[in-house]
Structure 1
Amino acid sequence: MKYYQVTMLVRGTKQNFLIKAKDRADAIAKIRKDYQGTLLRIKQTAAPVDATIKEFFSQFRSTVANRKVQPKNLIAAIRQLAVMTNAGISVHDALNEIAAATNDQKLKEILTQASENINAGLSLSETFRRYRYDVGGITLAMIELGEQTGNMAEALGSLADILEEIQENVAKFKKAMRYPLITLGAMAIAFTILILLVVPKFKSIFEKFHAELPLPTKILLGIEHVLSNYGLYVLLGFITFIALIVYLYRNNDDFKYKMDKLLLKLYLIKDIIFFSTLNRFSLVFTELVHAGIPIADALDTATSMVDNAVLKEKLEAVNVAVSRGVSLTDAFRDTGVFENMIIQMIGAGESSGQLDNMMRKVTDYYRMRFNYILDNMSSYIEPIMLAIIGALVLLLALGIFLPMWDMAQAVQGH
């Protein structure tokens, strides 16, 4: 939402006020509906500080209070629903059974509501569409496919397979990142303890000699002074900074786009994001095309699964180009995202009418590249970790022993 400074002429008097709207057209529509007078000027302006703070805490509370469905619970529920519908049990009864068995409160709420809506005459897709944020676009697409083909069990089984593979990739990434995060945390704690416990003892020695201290020692003493006197404020400031970054990333599209663009330039992170994103996109797109969903709809659903705003923008251009009559191969080529080998594979599949089979090979390729990065994460990160450890040890050593060496020379000189 944006804020607009509005100037209106009301009964011969100019009046200024702020209005909140999605865009300029929406702001003008609200003015015409809710205000009487002549619109003189409307100009976008920055949000008031009090409104920004109020919105921040409102969003933060809603984020904390919002209970999302756990992916593993959703996958288990979909797998159960597929088995039960395949056994001839009605969707209504199956939803009631699964809702009674699950411990996930949000999922229980969704399934119970779905059962009631089906009993009232609504379809399963109409019910789940209200919970798109919780269940995801791919879930809606596969349920709609099951309703169209009349084979809900097969559609739900394929959906569970897709969600399981996506979840496995997420789990692999978290596992690969666990080691470097724990190591960095341990290093930070150890360095802080040394600064707070060891450096002060040498500080009193250095002060007795009133000698000019070398730069590494000044840096250590400066860090010790900040942590000793403002450590709590530093910690609170760091937590606030991280919380602000997360908030802006989730709620500000411009900030998210710039951050995503930056992440695609960082060492190792860019490859993880790139190959994981294309693996997920090609996986979903392949399964939807194989299931008989039109290419335009498959592209739309697969693109909605992309988190990185920069890659999402480029992949959305594929759907736009295809809707204008451009071939899928040319549309993928124009994005500049896919390498020439992939373009040739897609072109061969499109010309031979076996696009889904060729896209499976593309998915396998991106899965292989993504898994290779995760399996060799340690070899990529170890040089960075060693460099950080070496820099900290060198700083401590130089900061403490250089002045000690100078003092020893001064004593020998006397």
Structure 2
Amino acid sequence: MKYFIATILTKGKKVEHGFYAENKKEAHYLAKIKFSGMILKMAESSPPFKDQLRHFKESLFANIKKRKLKQDSLIASIRQLAVMANAGISIHDSLKEIADATTDKTLQIVLGTLADDINSGHSLSHSARKFSFELGNLSLAMIELGEKTGNMAEALHKLADMLEEIRRNIIKFKKAMAYPRNVMIAMAIAFTVLISYVVPQFKTIFEQLHAELPLPTKILLFLEHLFNTYGLYVVAFIFIFIFTFKYMIDHYRDFRYKWHVFLLHVYLIKNIIMYATLNRFTLVFAELVRAGIPIAEALETSIAMIDSLPLQERLYTVRSTVEKGGTLHNGLAETGLFENMIIQMISAGESSGQLDAMMQKVMEYYKMRFDAIIDGLSEAIEPIMLLMIACMVVLLALGIFLPMWEMGNAVQGRR
């Protein structure tokens, strides 16, 4: 969020008002709603310290209160809304009906607020942007598609299908991660128990040796001292670090951008992010093109729903190329994200006038690649898991037995 100062002419006097907004366009819109009078000037500025403190508190508590909607409840509600919209029931009445019927409190608040905003004259897409955290970028894109095409029921049906697909992928991901996760948790617990209760038993023996201890033993003794003396502080530090890290990602775009760049260089994670992003981008773009939305506008909507900022930035160059009169396949080729085969397919689709059908095939290809990565996730993680387990076992074995061997050799030497 950026801080803007609006200079308003009211009752013959110039008055300055400071407030937060996403951009200058939204700042003008908010100023018209909030303040009476003529807007003379709108300038971005640094907020005063009091406003910084107040905004920090508000965003902090808002971040704590935020709750993701249960996917099952969201998908069921979207399907209900699609059926009711197809039956000719107004969106306002449909939202009210579903909000009253649901038992999910968060969903009830979201749908109730959407209904009230629509009743006040706002569009569904405009109101839904306030709940981007709860609904997700994909839902916002498909709602916008429904409004542009005038067929909200079909857009909502397709949205429910896409959310179901994403949910299935998440379930597959969790199942693939279950075994490695459980093994690593068990090893972490075992390692903590050994460090906290077993290593101290050897500590007194090591102290009696009065000899230079090997490096593995020094590491074990340091960990034992850290866990047993500052254990609670370590746990508190970990929680504070996680909370601070999450707050920085949620509220500082530069920090979030650097984190996303880092993730795109991490083994295995980079492929999951890459193919998940391309799959979702081509999925929404194919639907928009099939619905007859102009390519530049379809790109704008499809790219806006991408979570990875570096990938979003690279794909925005495609929109610039198309707006300047370039072809779609040349714009996609310049990003370096798409394989030559995909570029040739899109080029053929543009030439033949069947871009929507070709984009559908591209989307199916990326879906296949993403599914293959998820299916092979467990096997890909196993070498890392085995390496970590081996390091823990070697550290414990060498840390405990090396001094014992040296002590045994010393005893034999004296004899």
- CA distance in structure 2 between the partners assigned to 1:202 and 1:402 by the alignment: 12
- Provide the rounded CA distance (Å) in 2 between the counterparts of 1:348 and 1:381: 38
Partner of 1:410: 410
Residue correspondence of structure 1 range 214-253 to structure 2 within 5 A = 214-253=214-253
Give per-residue Cα distances to partners, 1:110-163, cap 9 Å, x unaligned.
Answer: 333444455566654454455455434544444454455544322321222222
Counterpart of 1:289 in structure 2 is 289
Question: Pairwise mapping of residues 255-334 of structure 1 onto structure 2 (< 5 A)?
Answer: 255-334=255-334
Kept in 1: contact 2:67–2:134 (CA 8 A): no
Displacement of 1:235 in angstroms is: 1.6
209 and 154 in structure 1: CA distance in 2 versus 1, 3 angstrom threshold: closer
**2:34 corresponds to which residue?**
none
Deviation at 1:253, TM superposition (A): 1.3
**Counterpart amino acid of residue 229 in structure 2:** N
Structure 1 counterpart of 2:335, one-letter code: T
Structure 1 vs Structure 2 CA RMSD: 3.2
Per-residue deviation at 1:221? Answer: 0.9
Deviations 1:310-343 (A, max 9, x none): 1010011111221111111111011111111111
TM-score, with length taken from structure 1: 0.83
Distance 2:140 2:356 in 1: 20
Matched residues in 1 for 2:93 and 2:311: separation?
42
Kept in 1: contact 2:149–2:291 (CA 8 A): no
8 A contact 1:142–1:159 mirrored in 2: yes
1:15-414 alignment, distance < 5 Å: 58-118=58-118, 123-125=123-125, 127-147=127-147, 149-414=149-414
| TM-score, scaled relative to structure 2 | 0.83
Tell me the matched-pair count: 384
CA 1:47–1:393 in structure 2 vs 1: closer, same or farther (change >3 Å)?
farther
Question: CA deviation digits over 1:389-409, x for unaligned, max 9?
Answer: 111111111111111111112
What is the distance in 2 between the residues matched to 1:215 and 1:159? 57
Residues 404 and 252 of structure 1: is their aligned pair in 2 closer, same or farther, counting only changes over 3 Å? Answer: same
Aligned partners of 2:122, 2:211: CA distance in 1, in Å?
A: 83
Q: Which amino acid aligns with 2:106?
A: K
Q: Which string of whole-angstrom CA distances, capped at 9 and with x for unpartnered residues, describes residues 349-397 of structure 1?
A: 1111111111111111111111111111111111111111111111111
**Which amino acid counterpart does residue 167 of structure 2 have in structure 1?**
Q
Task: Report the Cα distance in structure 2 between the residues aligned to 1:330 and 1:204, rounded to whole angstroms.
Answer: 71
List structure 1 segments (4+ residues) > 6 angstroms apart after TM superposition: 19-23, 44-48, 50-54
Give the counterpart letter for 1:406 in structure 2. Answer: E
**Could you tell which deviates more after superposition, 389-398 or 92-101?**
92-101
Kept in 2, the 8 Å contact 1:318–1:335? The answer is yes
What CA distance in whole angstroms lies between the structure 2 residues aligned with 1:76 and 1:116? 21
Deviations 1:254-277 (A, max 9, x none): 111111111111111111111111
AA partner of residue 328 (structure 2): L
After TM superposition, give the deviation of residue 68 of structure 1 in Å: 3.9
1-side partners of 2:279 and 2:369: how far apart?
Answer: 9
| SS of corresponding position for 2:293 | coil
Distance in 2 separating the partners of 1:22 and 1:97: 33
Q: 1:135 to 1:394 in 2, by over 3 A?
A: closer
Structure 1 stretch displaced more, 317-326 or 122-131: 122-131
C-alpha distance in 1 between matches for 2:242 and 2:113: 37
Shift of 1:104: 2.2
Give 3-state SS (helix, strand or coil) of 1:198's partner: helix
Alpha-carbon shift at residue 304 of structure 1 (Å) = 1.7
Q: Distance in 2 between matches of 1:314 and 1:282?
A: 15
* CA deviation map 1:198-231 (0-9, x unaligned): 1111111111221221111111111111111111
Contact persistence 2:277–2:306 (CA under 8 A): yes
Q: Which amino acid aligns with 1:388?
A: M
- The 3 A distance-change label for structure 1 pair 238 and 119 is closer
- Structure 1: distance between partners of 2:325 and 2:212: 74
What SS does the aligned partner of 2:338 have? coil
Amino acid at match of 2:284: V
SS in 2 for 1:177: helix
Partners of 2:234 and 2:54 in 1: how far apart?
Answer: 24
Corresponding residue SS for 1:257: helix
| Equivalent AA in structure 2 for residue 393 of structure 1 | V
Query: Which ranges of structure 1 fall in alignment gaps of 5 or more residues?
Result: 5-18, 27-43
Please give the alpha-carbon distance, in whole angstroms, between the structure 2 residues aligned to 1:115 and 1:79: 17
**CA 1:248–1:113: 2 relative to 1, 3 Å:** closer
Cα displacement string for residues 152-177 of structure 1 (whole angstroms, at most 9, x for unaligned residues): 32232122222222333333333333
TM-aligned CA distance change 1:112 to 1:238, over 3 Å: closer
Secondary structure in structure 2 of the residue aligned to 1:293: coil
Q: Distance in 1 between matches of 2:200 and 2:388?
A: 23
Deviation at 1:285, TM superposition (A): 1.0
Deviates more, 1:355-364 or 1:237-246: 237-246
Counterpart CA distance in 2 for 1:235 and 1:127 is 41
Report the Cα distance in structure 2 between the residues aligned to 1:308 and 1:401, rounded to whole angstroms. 48
Q: Is the 8 A contact 1:125 1:144 kept in 2?
A: yes
